[in-house]
Chains A and B, each alone.
Chain A
Amino acid sequence: MLFNSVEFLLFLPVIFALYWFVFKKLIHQNILILCASYFFYGWWDWRFLFLIIFSTLVDYSIGLLLQKEKVIRKRKILLWTSILVNLGLLGYLKYYNFFIDNFINAFASLGVEISESTLNIILPVGISFYTFQTLSYTIDVYRKKIIPTNNFIAFATFVTFFPQLVAGPIERATHLLPQFYKKRIFDYRNAVMGMRLILWGFFQKIVIADGCAPYVNDIFENYMNYSSATLIFGSVLFSFQIYGDFAGYSNIAIGVSRLFGFDLMRNFKYPYFSRDIAEFWRRWHISLSTWFRDYLYIPIGGSKGGKYSQIRNVFVIFIVSGFWHGANWTFIVWGALNALYFLPLLLLNKNRTHVDDFDSKTLFPTVKVFVQMCTTFILITFAWIFFRSDNITVAIDFIKHIFVNSNYLKISSAYTYNHNIRPLAVYLVFFILLEWFSRDREEFVNTFFERNTYFRYAMYVIITLVIILNIQNEASGFIYFQF
């Protein structure tokens, strides 16, 4: 079920009403959320519910066994069982064809022909997200950071919690699971904040991301016919599309959770105002970045050891992170490119220069900060070309055309020719300015909606109107669903 669908608009109030007015006991509320989550997921394809249930059962059982088991070697076996089962399923469903294809190609390049045996595998929506979430539980139990739960309903609900099931934020058991043990009390302020986040999330998705999408699709599909300026324009729009799409989803997920009395972690923190790549990765898809930091980067040594191991670790984490997104070399190159961007900062020990929040005292950034932000944005946008392209050849060709079709002044594509881009430009400026003026806040909506009543209500009306005017005839999916 998509957040931006009529079904969800009916689903949410029904579950909300049942949750607060009918099922008042904690256990009943948890069961309701579990059933709602299965329904939410099964709406897409009920067959894959068995996969989630299987994954839930495995990690729940291993968690309990880990608690009983004191022998380190056996504990390790249990941990690796969980890792292998979870990553095995993920690997098979997501990466099987990729490995087979590359294997065959590698042998073909040596002149050995191997008959192709790829499978027609449907990738279950959100598998990368819930797999990582359950893995975090088992690893944390193994590390004794969390006591394993014997409450199966709470654990199953933690794994499948519908607001964040298919595209995150990837929650840690240490943060989300305890929330299923405690009685939730309706909090007015929290619920209002949730509604604001939902409204803003829809603005990000429907107005910004879906508004950019047709331009981006046209430019990336027909890049060979367009000028350099148009290709650059398409890449910049994709930067906003993917941000609007993913941050929009995250905000809706956090907002919906708040309506039910849950607190999810923040996933984005004004990433495009980052002053360097290291800062960008502390502000972009925070739940995944921190997951990789805690469960991969630090275990393989992190920033400890010599420069060589530091560089190796950086490449490992970025490439794995890229590969997590999809079984395509484009994601691997995208990850490697980000590692390359990160390298100078690491070598010069400047990767933690910008850990502070943005300076909010001044209206505009200093020239130096502005240049830093622009440079980071350009680098990120360049990397997104790989992320967006269908394959490496297309990505390289796209980049080549930026330099070959060297008309840097005229932006013109079939879509820009047939459509007026001014409204989108206004929305983007509005979006950037609002983010800029909220840059020091934990939650953007706090600053924005907590002005005087008239201003706030005017903004509610304007944002609702703009969302309604930009709804697509067919609800468009979220980009991160495919990961």
Chain B
Amino acid sequence: MMKQFLIKMFRLGLLIYLILWCLQFGIDAGLKLNQNNPFYEWNMIDKGAINAEVVFFGSSRTYKHYNPEIIDEKLHVNSYNLGNDGTAIDIQRIRNMAYFSNNKVPEVIVQNVDITSLFPTEKLYKKNQYFPRYTTRNFDILYNIDDAIFIEYVIPMYKYRGYLNVFELALQGYLSIKTENKNYKGFSINNSSWDGKFEKQKQQLKGVLDFSHVNFKERLLVFDEMLANLNAHSNTVLLVWAPEYYERQELEGAVLSNIKNKYSEAADKYKNTYFIDFTKDSLCYHKKYFYNSYHLNGTGAAIFSEKIADTIAKYHVFK
């Protein structure tokens, strides 16, 4: 009777496992066809459908700052914003590598740099964007960041817990249904005005932004590896420190200039690689261009994008 029970449990377990695995496979495939956020950019990269002459990499400070519409118009090129919200360089590297494996080599790479991007990612932001790609080799680093991913990998459908809309999203992919996409070539505009949180949280931020005790040596080595890779895949690499509100820079203190020097030294090591600093730009001194101390709003991003276009034109001559 025990044997019968164990056989039954094994058979049933296996059956359930296989059915769930097939279901997950189908959903993953559907999500890989999905043309909406947060899957769209990853899918475009994998399909090799971007093939831009200018690409922008980085975190939310890329995602919110570089407007390809303005840059395309000014430079008469095809540019694309591949900024990934809530990521540091460890995750940004995954996107860089995926892009280089599937798309033609860009003429110019703009990598946004700052202090926070140097910190290793502790928690995956918008984790669902990675779901269909857990088995992709480039994504191995995710396993080090999030312990749950191993179990999510082993138990089919477990990664979709709490995301009950995946069935709908996969179906959208299969049926090529596009929902409203507010982003333009990866750029996400935020037209809000200054949110005032900076003033309220200034004291708290003072502690958060005190990086004086942090040893950046190891992190800069990771950055250096990334930069070597960027350099190998492009004619010109611009390391751009996009504007930050000046009072925030004051809180970051001396570390800010130290890190800037490190980026500048890193750029000097490579041919056609330049460090461009916008932290003293006039934009930094007006709240009206920001929605918070770290991100430009639509107006600020438009002005900044004009300036970036001019900068690109200054450092690179398009074929």
Contacts and interface: CB of A to CB of B under 8 A. Distances in A.
B9 interface: yes
A42 interface: no
Nearest to A186: B2
A188 B16 contact: no
Contact of B12 (A20, A191, A460): A460
Nearest to A464: B16
A6 B155 CA distance: 12
A186 B5 contact: yes
Nearest to A206: B161
A195 interface: yes
A468 interface: yes
Interface stretch (A78-86, A88-96, A388-396, A469-477): A469-477
B174 interface: no
A195 B13 CA distance: 12
A465 B4 contact: no
Contacts of B155: 468
The interface residues of chain A, by DSSP majority, are classed as helix
A457 interface: yes
Nearest to B159: A468
B158 A468 contact: yes
A187 B1 contact: yes
A469 B4 contact: no
A433 interface: no
A27 B2 CA distance: 20
A17 to B, nearest CB: 10
B19 interface: yes
B160 interface: yes
Contacts of A195: 9
Given A464-B16, A464-B20, A465-B23, A420 B157 contact: no
Contacts of B20: 461, 464-465, 468
B164 A420 contact: yes
Nearest to B9: A195
Contacts of B158: 468, 471
Contacts of B9: 195
Contacts of B258: none
B141 interface: no
Interface string A185-203: 0111001100100000000
B157 A465 contact: yes
Interface in B15-49: 15-16, 19-20, 23
A425 to B, nearest CB: 12
B148 to A, nearest CB: 7
A423 interface: yes
A461 B16 contact: yes
Interface in B145-188: 148, 151, 155, 157-158, 160-165
B161 A469 contact: yes
A195 B157 CA distance: 21
Interface string A335-348: 00000000000000
A468 B1 contact: no
Chain B interface residue number, banded:
20 to 34
A473 B148 contact: yes
Contacts of B1: 186-188
A423 B9 CA distance: 29
A468 B1 CA distance: 29
Contacts of B162: 469-470, 472-473
Contact of B161 (A20, A188, A423, A468): A468
A188 B8 CA distance: 10
Given A469-B161, A470-B161, A457 B5 contact: no
A471 B161 contact: yes
Contacts of B15: 457, 461
Interface in A429-466: 457, 460-461, 464-465
B197 to A, nearest CB: 19
Contacts of B8: 192
Contacts of A469: 157, 160-164
Contacts of A191: 5
Contacts of A468: 20, 155, 157-158, 160-161
B1 to A, nearest CB: 4
Nearest to B155: A468
Contacts of B163: 469
Contacts of A6: 151
Nearest to A189: B1
B283 to A, nearest CB: 33
B157 A20 contact: no
B165 to A, nearest CB: 7
A423 B164 contact: yes
Contacts of B4: 188
A458 to B, nearest CB: 10
A182 B247 CA distance: 77
A6 B147 CA distance: 13
A242 to B, nearest CB: 22
A20 B23 contact: no
A186 B165 CA distance: 43
A187 B164 CA distance: 38
Contacts of B19: 461
A460 B16 contact: yes
Contacts of B5: 186, 188, 191-192
A465 B22 CA distance: 12
A457 B16 CA distance: 9
Contacts of B2: 20, 186, 188
A142 B165 CA distance: 60
A472 to B, nearest CB: 8
B4 to A, nearest CB: 6
A202 to B, nearest CB: 13
Interface in A33-52: none
A423 B161 CA distance: 13
A26 to B, nearest CB: 17
A204 B310 CA distance: 61
A473 B147 CA distance: 11
A192 B7 CA distance: 12
Contacts of B12: 457, 460
17 contacts: A20-B2, A186-B2, A188-B1, A192-B8, A195-B9, A457-B12, A460-B12, A464-B20, A465-B23, A468-B155, A468-B158, A468-B161, A469-B157, A469-B160, A471-B158, A473-B161, A473-B162
Given A460-B12, A460-B16, 19 more contacts: A6-B151, A186-B2, A187-B1, A188-B4, A188-B5, A192-B5, A420-B164, A423-B164, A465-B20, A465-B157, A468-B155, A468-B157, A468-B158, A469-B161, A469-B162, A469-B163, A470-B162, A473-B148, A473-B161
7 A-B pairs closest in CB distance: A188-B1, A471-B161, A423-B164, A186-B2, A468-B157, A191-B5, A188-B5
Interface of B: 1-2, 4-5, 8-9, 12, 15-16, 19-20, 23, 148, 151, 155, 157-158, 160-165
